[in-house]
Amino acid sequence: MNQKLRGALLLASLFLLACLGLLGAAPAPAAAFLTQSAKQVDCYDYIEFTLKITHPPAGNPFTEAEVRGEFSRANGAPLKVDGFCDSADGSVFRLRFMPMQAGRYDYVLSYRRAGTTETHRGAFTARAGQRPGLVGVDPDHPTHFRRDGRGEHFFYNSTTAYWLLGFQDDAVIRASLDRLAQLKVNRIRVALSGRTASGLRWKEPMIVSNDDFQFRLEPWPAARPLDIENPGYDVARFNLDHFRKTERMLKHALSRDVQVSLIFALDVADKGVDPFGKANMGNADEQRYYRYCVARFGAFANVWWDLINEWHLCRDEAWVEKMGALVKEWDPYDHLTSVHGSGKFPFGQSPWVDYVMFQSWDEHGAYDFLFKARKVQIDAGRPLPVINEEYGYEDHYPYPWGGKRTWPARIGAERVRLAWEMTMAGGYQTTGERANIAGMGGWITGRGNAEMTMLKGYGWLRAFFERFAWWKLAPRPDLVGGESQALPVIENGPAIAPALCLAKPGECYVIYLRAGGRANVSLAPGKYRVERYNPRTSESAKLPDATGGAAWTSPAVPDTENWVFWLENKR
């Protein structure tokens, strides 16, 4: 048989084998097909780009591939945005972009994997719309917050809902958010990572794991998900169902105008929670988790970042500074960022910090505490909003942690009183409802019912201050004095002044009587309308006008409870 005939027979045989599927074919190269969710989008909404990868190569797409975007607007600096993998096999990637200014945007998206890069180009238009925008620090009054979109000021009224994502039914999550929004809560704290056995972890036995609720928040796939202390996390991959549930929660919260402070990790010192530990804190795996969260959730206008809960128990200052700077670097939208800790906040001068956040319980964290903390920031030349993020929850007496604190020291009325004091100090607070009703959870889960009425008082507090330009007022203890017969005594605590004052002299004064009595106020010249307000019922009464230029003494109040007077110049 000659050479040509032999070659022809070989080719024919190979063709036949290929047709019969008996000869292995070389894998087709991966290709990325892009779809764009819209051609137009309102500012502070987001547009989503989906890359579907045909024939994704074997391996780990969370570590071996990346999607990046660059968005340019005429006369504006380009913004670089990370995408994220949204399928375990690497067949789907997404990138979300939230425009903050109207106009045409041109973009370049790139997909990189296995040494190859695919590039996609396109454009879309952002409309001005009516969305309120991100909450940021007010540049003109930097101890307060303002909305970017419409320039509205934001009265911070926050509550804790650590384990909201533990509910298995999205309907429960939505109903919990609806209830909080109706009660005028406009910010909540929600954990992304955590695990424990039950509410007994915090001496709250009524909250348990069952078919409806789980004390397991798992950002990574777990080899042993039911093992609380040894889940066997694969930190090189992500638990996509958990992230999708978080997105659904954020979308509903956004529809109710509720801000969500996402806590990257909760109670990290507990066994099973922290797959990195102090030995590996801040390593590439932990950074990948933080960066993935920023890429996935950053386009939601209602997101805030909380680096970790009680950092001082599980990380050091160097880690906080490093991760805070990285989150700011990765976030193209500059969402509000801080870290929750204790009664000390050593990061007040750090560029990545947007507000100062404390944990100081009961009266020790009230007026005097926040007044001094606010002054520290102002005196250092960097005024920022100052917040007591945790000061003891309603009816929460975790003996022996609580010491001598027993009922009724933390009933709802006393929590609201402390909130008024912190507001009078020029600061803000985050509260928490009681967790001693079965199936609810209060500060633990964010769920409540009609029996839980404490938040009404916080809603009245917010509504009172939103009637006027509260952000222009400053604490002025030098303008007020007075007397009271029923001031509380705080063991090892600060001295209690009978009356507190927020003011912009000559324009507006808010006088808070802690326990009845009278206040003597130094008023600037002018004629002032006067209103007496009951913070326990929201009832108000108009009183005779006050004349400034001399001391004004508040009229007698009916009892020794707390009362408020609001004076506004009539001009």
**What is d(CA 274, CA 283) in angstroms, rounded to the nearest whole number?**
13
Q: How confident is the model at residue 19 (pLDDT cuts 50, 70, 90)?
A: very low
Whether residue 408 is preceded by a cis peptide bond, meaning omega within 30 degrees of 0, is yes
Q: How confident is the model at residue 31 (pLDDT cuts 50, 70, 90)?
A: confident
CB distance 267 to 192 below 8 Å? no
The pairs formed by 314-320 with CB atoms below 8 angstroms and a separation of 24 or more are 314/268, 314/269, 314/274, 314/278, 315/268, 315/278, 315/281, 316/278, 316/281, 317/346, 317/347, 319/281, 319/282, 320/347
Give the tokens for residue 528. Answer: 């002032």
Strand-pairing partners, residue 126, are 41, 103
Extract the runs of DSSP E, i.e. beta strands, from 192-329.
Answer: 194-195, 216-217, 259-263, 303-306
Per-residue pLDDT of 54-104, as tens digits, reads 989 999 999 999 999 999 998 888 999 999 999 999 999 999 999 999 999
Provide CATH 3.20.20.80 ranges for the chain.
150-470
The pLDDT assigned to 296 comes to 98
The pLDDT assigned to 22 comes to 41
Per-residue pLDDT of 516-555, as tens digits, reads 999 999 999 999 999 999 999 999 999 999 999 989 999 9
Q: How many residues does the chain have?
A: 571
The pLDDT assigned to 490 comes to 54
Domain 474-569 sits in CATH at 2.60.40
CB distance 178 to 446 below 8 Å? no
Share above pLDDT 70 across residues of the chain, in percent, rounded to a whole number: 92
The pLDDT assigned to 7 comes to 45
Per-residue pLDDT of 300-329, as tens digits, reads 999 999 999 999 999 999 999 999 999 999
Give the tokens for residue 438. Answer: 């079965």
Question: What value does the mean pLDDT take over residues 253-264?
Answer: 98
Average model confidence (pLDDT) for the chain? 93
- Domain 31-127 listed as CATH 2.60.40.10: yes
Strand-pairing partners, residue 158, are 187, 430
Q: Residue 492 pLDDT more than 60? A: no
Q: How confident is the model at residue 10 (pLDDT cuts 50, 70, 90)?
A: very low
The pLDDT assigned to 446 comes to 98
**What is d(CA 470, CA 455) in angstroms, rounded to the nearest whole number?**
21
Nearest alpha carbon to residue 176 among 263, 252, 241: 252
Q: Residue 26 pLDDT more than 70? A: no
Q: How confident is the model at residue 18 (pLDDT cuts 50, 70, 90)?
A: very low
Give the tokens for residue 35. Answer: 């779809």
Per-residue pLDDT of 279-301, as tens digits, reads 999 999 999 999 999 999 999 99
End-to-end CA distance of the chain: 114
Per-residue pLDDT of 192-216, as tens digits, reads 999 999 999 999 999 999 999 999 9
The pLDDT assigned to 76 comes to 83
Share above pLDDT 90 across residues of the chain, in percent, rounded to a whole number: 88
**What is d(CA 256, CA 456) in angstroms, rounded to the nearest whole number?**
17
Segment (H or E) for 245: helix 240-255
Question: What value does the mean pLDDT take over residues 364-380?
Answer: 97
**What is d(CA 429, CA 421) in angstroms, rounded to the nearest whole number?**
10
**How many other CB atoms are there within 10 angstroms of residue 283's CB atom?**
12
CB distance 220 to 235 below 8 Å? yes
**What is d(CA 339, CA 125) in angstroms, rounded to the nearest whole number?**
36
Per-residue pLDDT of 267-276, as tens digits, reads 999 999 999 9
The pLDDT assigned to 32 comes to 85
Q: How confident is the model at residue 402 (pLDDT cuts 50, 70, 90)?
A: low
Per-residue pLDDT of 98-148, as tens digits, reads 999 999 999 999 999 988 999 999 999 999 999 999 999 999 999 999 998
For residue 216, the Cα-to-chain-centroid distance in whole angstroms is 20
Looking at 19-33, 393-407, 429-443, which range is the least confident one? 19-33
The pLDDT assigned to 8 comes to 47
**How many other CB atoms are there within 10 angstroms of residue 163's CB atom?**
25
Question: What value does the mean pLDDT take over residues 386-404?
Answer: 89
- Level-2 CATH architecture, domain 150-470: Alpha-Beta Barrel (3.20)
Give 71: exposed, middle or buried? Use CB within 10 Å, 0-12, 13-18, 19+. Answer: buried
Provide CATH 2.60.40.10 ranges for the chain.
31-127
Instruction: Return the SS3 of 26.
Output: coil
Q: What global pTM score does this model have?
A: 0.93
